[in-house]
């Protein structure tokens, strides 16, 4: 099957899932469980949306693997695995803040050990924005081809980041931000890793870093950044690996600063 068919499936599934999630948000949100902490919530909609994605992909590609944030997992018989975050930015979703998305990627190889996305789609249902990419085919927002911002010095960069759910980790992350913010134009945080990556690809921010992301957080967004001319790299650190995404030279300068600050 060509990449065209794969990206068509990824985008169709992401949009359908997003429409369901938006309908459930308008009807009212119920917290179903918590995960790593009391702040790390799972809604009933997360589970329902993941089940919809799983069923649609299984019907179209029954031999592919599946890895979903809410625990649905199936082994691949093709070497390809769908990596899905049904609602990326669940806390935003819970509070009815418009920065949440559905992320769908098809990854070649092991998603937890260096597998690379073949296609990816990130859909923001509230804004109606559909980001998509295929490897070698560019990154797109609607009919606009995306390109990361180039030739931005670190001191003039708009930097995006995110925080963990555990309080002690957030405290450590905040100390790093304190060191970064005086060395760049400014810092932003919207609370959805997938959308942060898409914003870098679209030139809405210059570079993005975050700690301890899972494959479903970044699989689609990383491909979108790369196909927009950026880099996406995960770096080892002292107990808390971090990723940096952006125009390659700028991303490297930010990485070096983070290491200097004790990241």
From the annotation, which residues make up the binding site?
69, 85, 87-88, 217
Q: Which residues are annotated as a binding site for Mg(2+)?
A: 69, 85, 87-88, 217
| Strand pairing class (231-235; 65-68) | unpaired
Contact of 122 with 224, CB cutoff 8 Å? yes
Residue appearing with tokens 């980790």: 169
Sequence-distant (6+) residues with CB within 8 A of 59 are none
- Adjacency order of strands within the sheet including 242-246: 186-188, 158-160, 207-211, 242-246, 231-235
Which residues on adjacent β-strands are paired with residue 258?
none
Q: How many CB atoms lie within 10 A of CB 149?
A: 21
User: Which DSSP helix (H) or strand (E) runs through 64?
Assistant: none
Gap between the Cα atoms of 23 and 125, Å rounded = 10
Sequence-distant (6+) residues with CB within 8 A of 27 are none
């Amino acid at each position: 099957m060509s990449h065209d068919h794969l990206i068509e499936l990824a985008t169709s599934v992401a949009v359908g899932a997003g429409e369901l999630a938006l309908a459930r948000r308008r009807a009212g949100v119920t917290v179903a469980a918590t995960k790593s902490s009391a702040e790390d919530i799972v809604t009933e909609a997360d589970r329902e949306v993941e089940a919809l994605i799983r069923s649609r992909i299984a019907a179209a590609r029954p031999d592919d693997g599946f890895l979903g944030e809410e625990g649905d997992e199936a082994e691949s018989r093709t070497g390809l695995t769908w990596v899905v975050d049904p609602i990326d930015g669940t806390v935003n979703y819970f509070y009815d803040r418009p920065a949440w998305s559905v992320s769908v990627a098809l990854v070649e190889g092991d998603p937890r050990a260096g597998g690379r996305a073949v296609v990816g789609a990130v859909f923001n249902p509230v804004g109606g924005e559909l980001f998509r990419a295929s490897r070698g085919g560019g990154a797109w927002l609607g009919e606009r081809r995306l390109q990361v911002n180039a030739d931005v010095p670190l001191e003039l960069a708009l930097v995006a980041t995110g925080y963990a759910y555990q309080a002690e980790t957030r405290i450590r992350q905040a100390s790093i931000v304190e060191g970064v913010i005086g060395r760049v134009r400014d810092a932003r945080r919207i609370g959805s890793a997938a959308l942060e990556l898409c914003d870098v690809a679209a030139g809405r921010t210059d570079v993005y870093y975050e700690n301890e992301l899972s494959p479903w957080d970044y699989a689609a967004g990383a491909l979108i950044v790369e196909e927009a001319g950026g880099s996406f790299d995960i770096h080892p650190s002292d107990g808390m690996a971090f990723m940096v995404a952006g125009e390659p030279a700028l991303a490297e300068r930010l990485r070096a600063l983070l290491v200097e600050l004790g990241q």
